[in-house]
Amino acid sequence: MIDSNAALLARRRCHFWLGNFSGDNFQYGKFQAYCIFWAKQGVLVLQPTVSDRSFQYGDGIFTTMLVDNSQLVLWDLHWQRLAQSLQRLQMPPLNEQAVKLQAEQAITTPSQVVKLLVSRGQGGRGYSPAGFHEPLVYVTNSPLPDYQQQRQLGIRLGVASLQLSTQPLLAGIKHTSRLETVLLKAEAEQSAFDDLIVCDQQGRVTELCAANLFFKIKGQWCTPKLDQAGVAGVMRLWLLQHMDVQQGYYPVTALDDATAMFASNALMGVVPVQQFKQRPFNVDEVRPIQQLVPFLAGKISC
């Protein structure tokens, strides 16, 4: 269990600038954030090293949490996914109370983003995970993007040419090996659309670049099964618990019969699709679902 006073002393204000590392200045981008780095047994680390396995091999997992009214939103679902991912990757379990404490201490404004990344550890050479018994947890915060326009007006979707590789063992996990996502984001930014629908190598609809996808066919809301590829988002899980949704394998041609669509993730919540390829959708079909989401209720004009 981590001593809270020691953790508070270890919380250093880090200035993130484009440049080199000096003292508490760490290169990562042009914003500021609190960085808390610590291990399961309370070993405090003020910055990652080049020997960290999440840096060397992508041997880690992460989750990105919304802070609303100074509270971590959907914490239970974030923790559920983290704990299940640790088990599947054969990493030691973490103490939920200690991890949540550090995440809460990273909150500095009523509305922002807190990111929690777990690495198998640091040190050693080679791929073998043997000998790593204390995962490292990295907690950072950053400003919350403004999704209000997308929530209100909707987004335009195309279809990505890049397809996701299938690996059932990793399917659903938000791991730090995200090269496919990086390339997909680049493709989306070079397209004429706001985001792209991504299929796996069998041509099955899987997700968007950084969100899950729901679509209505013959009056039934549907979403792809994610047991072969993709990331099982916590907002998706919340919606599955509160809606009648059919999960299945859908070829991209099945979307020709869709009458409504929306995207979901933990930060933006539910965002309607106003256009798929050249076909328009009525975003009002998604309004009742947006009103279901606690942190969106009352914030969307119907």
Return mean pLDDT, the chain. 86
Segment 198-220 shows an average pLDDT of 98
Q: Same structural domain for residues 269 and 191?
A: yes
Residues 58 and 187 in one domain: no
**21 shares its domain with 131:** yes
Report the catalytic residues.
64, 174, 207
Among the ranges given (32-36, 201-205, 264-268), the one the predictor scored with the smallest mean pLDDT: 32-36
Residue 301 lies in a domain: no
The residue range of the domain holding 262 is 148-292
> Does residue 168 sit within a domain?
yes
127/22 same-domain check: yes
Distance in angstroms (rounded) separating the CA atoms of residues 152 and 146: 12
Token pair for residue 270? 């539910």
The CATH number for 194's domain is 3.20.10.10
pLDDT value of position 71: 97
Q: Are residues 135 and 163 in the same domain?
A: no
Q: Are residues 19 and 83 in the same domain?
A: yes
Helices assigned H by DSSP within the chain: 4-10, 53-56, 75-88, 96-105, 148-153, 179-189, 234-242, 287-292
- Do residues 136 and 39 both lie within one domain? yes
Is residue 38 scored above 80 in pLDDT?
no
pTM metric for this prediction: 0.86
What is the rounded distance in angstroms from the CA atom of residue 254 to the CA atom of residue 250?
6
Question: Do 208 and 133 belong together in one domain?
Answer: no
Residue 95 domain flag:
yes
14 within domain boundaries: yes
At 106, which CATH number? 3.30.470.10
Share of the chain above pLDDT 90, in %: 73
Domain tally, the chain:
2
Same domain flag for 122 and 160 = no
How far apart CA 91 and CA 257 sit, in angstroms, is: 43
As a whole number, mean pLDDT of residues 59-86 equals 97
Q: End of a domain among 142, 174, 192?
A: 142
- Phi, psi (degrees; rounded to nearest 5) at 14: -105, 130
Do 276 and 294 form a contact (C-beta atoms < 8 A)?
Answer: no
**Inside any domain, residue 297:** no
Q: Of 121, 142, 163, which residue constitutes the final position of a domain?
A: 142
Q: Do the domain assignments include residue 298?
A: no
Specify the higher pLDDT residue, 174 or 39.
174
**Residue 302, pLDDT score:** 58
Report the number of secondary-structure helices (H) and strands (E) in the chain. Answer: 8, 15
163 and 132 inside one domain: no
Last residue of a domain, one of 100, 127, 142: 142
Query: Are 288 and 167 within one domain?
Result: yes
Q: Tokens 């099982």 — which residue?
A: 232
Residues 86 and 146: their CA atoms lie apart, in Å, by 31
178 and 268 assigned to the same domain: yes
Out of 36-45, 99-108, 131-140, 159-168, pick the least confident: 36-45
In this structure, is residue 80 part of a structural domain? yes
- Report if residue 299 sits inside a domain: no
Please list the residues that pair with 175 across neighbouring strands: 61
DSSP letter assigned to residue 200: B
